[in-house]
C-alpha cells in the first residue's frame, strides 16, 4: 500500500487492476483473520489439562483447521504479491471538466451549438466542454486557448499535453488523424492556421469537429465561410439582462429609489445608490461611445473604461495600469505586486512597511470590486482579463506622463529595439527566451524593469549605465544567470531588487552603492555561496530581506543585520538545530522580523522542539524539508496556549521527512479559515486524540476506514461540526461514530 500511495499521490499514476484485486483479497483475509481472533478466547476456554485436551474436541479441531487453512491462504497470497510495478499512467479521459459559472441568457446559444454538433455540423465553450464530460460520446475532447501572443505555439503545447505528446506538429497530426476529436478553441483574434498547428481539417468521414470562439466577426467569417454554422452571441434580451443585473447588483439597490429600476437598462453599478449618480453615469457612457479603441466594437471599451474612470484617484488608476506589465493570463501574486508598487513609489509614503502593504492590499480589493482584476484560485493571486489588459495598455499608451513598453510573454529571443527609449518609464520583458543583454539601453526615465522568467546568461557590464531613475529591477527565475555585472552599481535610485530563483553564485561588492535599497530578495538561490562582508549591513534603509532557500549561511547574515534599524521582514533557512539555537539569541529579529522559516536537511538531530520558534510573533510560513533524520517534532501544548504563540502562522509544509512517525495528538482550535489538513488519508499509527473546536470550514479529516481498525481514538468537537464532516463512504462514517466525544 505504501508503494501504491506514493505512485498515486506523488506520481499521479493509477493502480493496476491486478494490484487492486490483490489488495481486495488481502483485505478479505485480514477481516477473516480478525473474526478468528475474536473467536479464539472462547476456544481457549474450552481447553483443559494445560491445553492437552478439549472439552469440545470437534469444535476445537474444526477451529484449528480453519486457522491452518487461513494461514495457508495468507502464505499463498503473500507469494502472489510480488509486483515489479504497482501502477501505470491512467488513460486520458475523453473530456476533462472545466470550472464554469452559471450563465444568464446563453442557454439558447448553447442549445444551438450542441444542436450543430449533433447534426454533424460545427461551430459558448465551457458548457460545451462540460456537456461532453457529462454525456456518453466517442469524441476525444481537447480544450485550447489561443490568445493574442504566439497562438500557434500555445495551442500546440495544449494539444500535445492533452494527447500525451511532446510539442511536435507532425506528431500531433499523426495522432489526431486516427482519432475522432472535438477541438474547443477559445479566444482567437485572427485567422488561425489549423494545419500549421498540426490539426487535420475535420474530415466528414469520422465526424471530428473544431469549435472556436472569437470577439471579431471578420475572423469568424474567415475561419468558417458557411454562415449557417456561425452563431453570434447577441446582447441579452431585456428580461434576462435585468435578471443578471439584479443578481450582480443586489435587490437592495432597487429599494434605494424607484427611479433606479428605469435607469438600470443603461448601466448596472453596485456601488451607486441614487438616481443622480445613475443619470450622470449613463450620460458619460453615451458621450464616451464616440471614443473607441481601434479594431474593437463601439460597445465594449467605453463601458470598460468607465470602470477605470470611476476609480477614486490617480494612485488607484496607476496601480491598475501597472498590472498590464505582466503577461496575458498571468497569475500575479498579490504580495509581490504590492512590494513592486511600494518600490516603484506608487503608494503613499509610510513610515511603517505594514501600513504600506495594507494600503496595497486595500487597492487590490478596490480593483477587484471594480471588476478590473479577478481573484485567483487560491486567493493569494489575481489575474487581469486579456480584454482588460488590452484596455490598460491602450490607456497607458495615451498617457503623457507615463510610457509603457510591455513585451511580456511574447517569446522574444533577443533584446528588443525601440525608437524612443528615453520616453519609456516602465518596461516589462518578462517570460520570454532572451539569453543575452548586450546592447546598452539609454532609458533616463525608466523606473521599473521586469526581466524575470527569461533564459538570461549574460548581462553586459554597461547595460545598466544609463538608467539613473530605475527603482524596481526584477531578474527572478533566470536560473542560468550566474553573476551580476559590476555596472549594476550605477542604479543609484534602486529600491527593489529581486534575484530569487537565479543561479547567482556571489554578490558583487559594488552593490554597496545601492544606498536606497529597501527590498532584496535572494530566496531559493541555492548556488549563492559568497556575500562580501559588510555588504548587507551597508543597506542602511533595507526593510525586506528574503533568504529562504538561499545557499549562504544565515548566521553570518544575522550578525550583519543587527544594525539595520528599518528591517521589517526577514525569511531564512536553517540547516541544523545548532544554527537555529544560535540564531534564537538574536532577539530583535526573532521577535519582530522573521516571516518565513525553512528547516532544511537537518542531519544532526532526531528531535526538534518547535518552541525554538515560539518567539517569532510574525511567522507566517513554516516548512520542514528533507529532514531525513528527524523522528519527532515536540509541541508543548500548555506552553503554546499560555504564551499565545504562532498567531500569524498560515501555512505549514512537511516534505521529505520520511522518519517522522510520532504524532499522538492533534489539537486545532479557533481556525475559522482552515479548510484542509492533507488531501488524502494518512496512516497515523500513534494517533490517540483529535480535538477540533472553532474550525467550521474543516469538513474533511485525513482519515479513512484503515485508521478505525484497532485504534482507540478519541475525537472531540462540536456536535454541529461533527454532523457536517464528510467521509469517504458510509461505512467509514459508521466506523468512526463510537470515537466521537461531544464538546
Tell me the per-residue pLDDT of 606-664, one tens digit each, with 9 for 90 and over.
Answer: 888 888 888 888 899 999 988 888 888 887 766 666 556 888 888 888 888 888 778 78
CB 268 within 8 A of CB 288: no
| Percent over 70 (pLDDT), the chain | 81
In angstroms, the CA 80 to CA 662 distance is: 32
Cα angle 722, 727, 732 (rounded to 5 degrees) comes to 100
If one compares 188 and 502, the residue with the highest pLDDT of the two is: 502
79 and 155 share a domain?
no
**pTM for this predicted structure:** 0.63
Query: 174 in a domain, yes or no?
Result: yes
Domain end among 198, 229, 260: 229
Give the pLDDT of residue 122.
43
In angstroms, the CA 345 to CA 406 distance is: 19
126 and 187 share a domain?
yes
What integer is the mean pLDDT of 670-689?
84
In angstroms, the CA 635 to CA 647 distance is: 15
82 and 112 share a domain?
no
CB 507 within 8 A of CB 483: no
205 and 174 share a domain?
yes
Residue 19 has pLDDT above 60, yes or no: yes
Query: 473 in a domain, yes or no?
Result: no
12 and 66 share a domain?
yes
116 and 150 share a domain?
yes
Give the pLDDT of residue 118.
45
Query: 395 in a domain, yes or no?
Result: no
If one compares 30 and 521, the residue with the highest pLDDT of the two is: 521
Buried b (16+ CB within 10 A) or exposed e, 184-205: bbbbbbeebebeebbbbebeee
Domain end among 194, 229, 264: 229
Confidence band (pLDDT; 50, 70, 90) for 420?
confident
Query: 243 in a domain, yes or no?
Result: no
Please give the tally of structural domains in the chain: 3
Distances (CA, A) of 529 to 378, 505, 554: 34, 6, 11
CB 671 within 8 A of CB 694: yes
64 and 132 share a domain?
no
41 and 130 share a domain?
no
48 and 122 share a domain?
no
What integer is the mean pLDDT of 407-417?
92
Domain end among 54, 88, 122: 88
Distances (CA, A) of 677 to 228, 680, 701, 703: 53, 9, 7, 10
If one compares 228 and 356, the residue with the highest pLDDT of the two is: 356
65 and 113 share a domain?
no
Residue 173 has pLDDT above 90, yes or no: no
Domain of 667 in residue numbering reads as 663-743
Give the pLDDT of residue 390.
84
Query: 216 in a domain, yes or no?
Result: yes
Give the pLDDT of residue 186.
82
164 and 213 share a domain?
yes
Confidence band (pLDDT; 50, 70, 90) for 49?
very low
Give the pLDDT of residue 228.
67
72 and 119 share a domain?
no
Query: 225 in a domain, yes or no?
Result: yes
Query: 418 in a domain, yes or no?
Result: no
Q: Where are the alpha helices (DSSP H) in 296-385?
A: 300-309, 314-322, 334-343, 353-369
Residue 511 has pLDDT above 90, yes or no: yes
Give the pLDDT of residue 143.
82
Query: 119 in a domain, yes or no?
Result: yes
CB 650 within 8 A of CB 619: no
Rg (the chain; Cα; Å): 32
Mean confidence (pLDDT) of the chain: 82
Q: Taking the CA of residue 354 as centre, how many other CA atoms within 13 Å lie in the half-sphere pointing to its CB?
A: 6
Residue range 204-261, pLDDT digits in tens: 566 788 888 876 677 777 887 776 677 776 666 777 777 777 777 777 777 777 777 7
Amino acid at each position: 500500500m505504501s508503494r501504491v500511495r506514493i505512485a498515486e499521490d506523488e506520481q499521479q499514476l493509477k493502480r493496476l487492476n491486478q494490484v487492486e484485486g490483490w489488495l481486495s483479497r488481502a483485505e478479505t483475509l485480514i477481516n477473516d483473520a480478525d473474526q478468528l481472533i475474536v473467536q479464539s478466547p472462547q476456544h481457549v476456554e474450552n481447553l483443559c489439562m494445560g491445553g492437552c485436551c478439549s472439552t469440545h474436541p470437534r469444535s476445537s479441531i474444526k477451529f484449528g483447521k480453519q486457522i491452518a487453512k487461513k494461514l495457508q491462504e495468507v502464505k499463498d497470497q503473500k507469494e502472489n504479491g510480488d509486483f515489479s510495478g504497482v501502477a501505470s499512467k491512467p488513460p486520458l479521459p475523453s473530456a476533462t471538466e472545466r470550472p464554469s459559472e452559471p450563465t444568464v441568457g446563453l442557454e439558447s446559444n448553447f442549445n444551438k451549438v450542441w444542436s450543430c454538433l449533433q447534426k454533424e455540423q460545427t461551430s459558448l465553450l465551457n458548457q460545451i466542454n462540460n456537456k461532453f464530460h457529462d454525456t456518453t460520446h466517442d469524441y476525444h475532447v481537447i480544450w485550447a486557448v489561443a490568445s493574442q501572443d504566439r497562438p500557434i505555439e500555445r495551442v500546440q503545447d495544449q494539444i500535445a499535453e492533452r494527447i500525451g505528446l511532446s510539442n511536435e506538429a507532425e506528431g500531433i497530426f499523426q495522432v489526431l488523424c486516427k482519432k475522432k476529436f472535438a477541438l474547443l478553441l477559445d479566444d482567437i483574434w485572427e485567422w488561425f492556421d489549423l494545419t500549421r498547428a498540426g490539426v487535420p481539417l475535420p474530415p466528414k468521414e469520422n465526424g471530428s469537429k473544431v469549435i472556436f470562439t472569437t470577439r471579431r466577426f471578420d475572423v469568424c467569417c474567415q475561419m468558417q465561410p458557411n454562415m449557417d454554422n456561425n452563431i453570434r452571441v447577441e446582447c441579452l434580451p431585456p428580461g434576462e439582462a435585468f435578471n443578471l443585473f439584479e443578481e450582480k447588483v443586489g435587490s437592495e439597490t432597487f429599494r434605494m429609489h424607484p427611479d433606479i429600476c428605469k435607469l438600470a437598462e443603461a448601466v448596472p453599478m453596485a456601488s451607486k445608490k441614487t438616481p443622480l449618480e445613475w443619470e450622470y453615469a449613463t450620460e458619460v457612457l453615451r458621450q464616451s461611445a464616440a471614443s473607441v479603441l481601434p479594431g474593437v466594437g463601439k460597445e465594449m471599451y467605453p463601458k470598460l473604461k468607465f470602470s477605470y474612470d470611476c476609480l477614486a484617484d490617480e494612485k488607484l488608476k496607476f496601480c491598475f495600469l501597472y498590472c498590464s506589465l505582466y503577461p496575458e493570463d498571468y497569475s500575479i501574486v498579490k504580495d509581490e505586486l504590492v512590494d513592486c508598487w511600494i518600490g516603484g513609489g506608487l503608494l503613499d509614503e509610510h513610515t511603517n512597511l505594514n501600513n504600506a502593504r495594507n494600503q496595497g492590499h486595500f487597492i487590490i480589493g478596490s480593483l477587484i470590486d471594480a471588476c478590473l482584476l479577478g481573484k485567483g484560485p487560491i486567493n493569494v493571486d489575481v489575474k487581469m482579463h486579456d480584454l482588460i489588459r488590452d484596455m490598460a495598455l491602450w490607456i497607458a499608451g495615451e498617457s503623457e506622463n507615463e510610457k509603457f513598453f510591455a513585451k511580456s510573454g511574447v517569446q522574444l529571443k533577443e533584446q528588443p529595439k525601440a525608437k524612443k527609449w528615453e520616453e519609456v518609464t516602465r518596461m516589462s520583458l518578462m517570460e520570454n527566451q532572451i539569453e543575452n543583454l548586450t546592447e546598452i539601453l539609454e532609458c533616463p526615465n525608466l523606473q521599473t524593469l521586469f526581466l524575470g522568467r527569461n533564459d538570461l546568461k549574460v548581462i553586459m557590464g554597461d547595460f545598466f549605465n544609463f538608467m539613473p531613475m530605475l527603482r524596481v529591477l526584477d531578474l527572478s527565475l533566470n536560473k542560468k544567470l550566474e553573476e551580476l555585472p559590476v555596472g549594476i552599481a550605477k542604479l543609484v535610485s534602486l529600491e527593489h531588487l529581486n534575484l530569487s530563483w537565479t543561479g547567482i553564485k556571489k554578490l558583487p561588492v559594488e552593490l554597496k552603492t545601492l544606498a536606497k535599497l529597501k527590498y532584496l530578495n535572494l530566496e531559493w538561490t541555492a548556488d549563492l555561496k559568497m556575500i562580501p562582508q559588510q555588504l548587507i549591513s551597508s543597506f542602511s534603509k533595507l526593510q525586506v530581506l528574503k533568504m529562504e532557500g538561499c545557499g549562504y549561511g544565515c548566521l553570518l547574515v544575522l550578525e550583519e543585520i543587527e544594525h539595520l534599524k528599518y528591517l521589517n521582514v526577514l525569511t531564512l533557512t536553517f540547516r541544523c538545530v545548532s544554527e537555529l539555537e544560535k540564531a534564537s539569541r538574536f532577539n530583535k529579529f526573532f521577535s519582530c522580523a522573521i516571516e518565513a522559516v525553512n528547516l532544511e536537511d537537518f542531519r544532526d538531530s532526531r528531535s526538534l522542539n518547535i518552541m525554538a520558534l515560539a518567539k517569532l510573533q510574525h511567522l507566517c510560513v513554516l516548512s520542514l524539508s528533507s529532514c531525513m533524520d528527524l523522528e519527532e517534532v515536540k509541541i508543548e501544548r500548555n506552553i503554546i496556549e499560555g504564551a499565545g504563540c504562532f498567531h500569524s502562522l498560515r501555512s505549514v509544509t512537511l516534505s521529505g521527512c520520511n522518519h517522522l512517525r510520532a504524532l499522538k495528538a492533534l489539537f486545532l482550535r479557533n481556525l475559522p479559515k482552515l479548510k484542509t489538513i492533507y488531501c488524502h488519508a494518512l496512516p497515523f499509527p500513534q494517533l490517540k486524540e483529535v480535538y477540533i473546536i472553532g474550525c467550521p470550514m474543516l469538513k474533511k479529516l485525513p482519515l479513512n476506514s484503515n485508521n478505525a481498525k484497532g485504534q482507540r481514538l478519541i475525537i472531540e468537537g462540536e456536535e454541529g461540526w461533527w454532523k457536517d464532516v464528510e467521509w469517504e463512504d458510509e461505512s467509514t462514517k459508521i466506523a468512526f461514530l463510537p470515537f466521537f466525544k461531544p464538546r
